[in-house]
Chain A
Amino acid sequence: MPDQLLFALEVTANGLMAGVMYSLVALGFVLIFKASGIFNYSQGVLALFAALTLVGIQEGQVPFAHLINAVTGLHVTEFGWKVPALLAILLTALVMVGLAIIIEKLVLKHLVNQEPIILFMATIGMAYFLEGFGDVMWGADIKTLDVGLPQGINETLESVTDKALGYGFFVDNLDIVATVVAVMLVTALTLFSQYSKQGRALRAVADDHQAALSVGISLRFIWVLVWSIAGFVALVAGIMWGSKSGVQFSLSLIALKALPVLMLGGFTSIPGAIVGGLIIGVGEKLFEFFAGPLIGGATENWFAYVLALVFLVFRPQGLFGEKIIERV
Chain B
Amino acid sequence: MEPIYLDNNATTRCDPAVVEAMLPFFTEHFGNASSIHAFGSEVGKALKKARSQVQALLGAEHDSEIIFTSCGTESDSTAILSALKAQPERNTVITTNVEHPAILTLCEWLEKEGYIVHKLKVDKKGRIDIDEYKSLLHDRVAIVSVMWANNETGTIFPVEQMAELASAKGIMFHTDAVQAVGKIPIDLKSTKIDMLSLSGHKLHAPKGIGVLYLRRGCRFRPLLRGGHQERGRRAGTENSASIVGLGVACELAMQHMEIENTTVRRLRDKLEAGLLSQITHCFPTGNVANRLPNTSNIAFEYIEGEGILMLLNKVGIAGSSGSACTSGSLEPSHVMRAMGIPYTAAHGTIRFSLSVYNTEAEIDRVIAEVPPIVAQLRKLSPYWSDKGPVANPQEAFAPTYA
User: Do the two chains bind?
Assistant: no
A: residues with CB less than 8 A from B are none
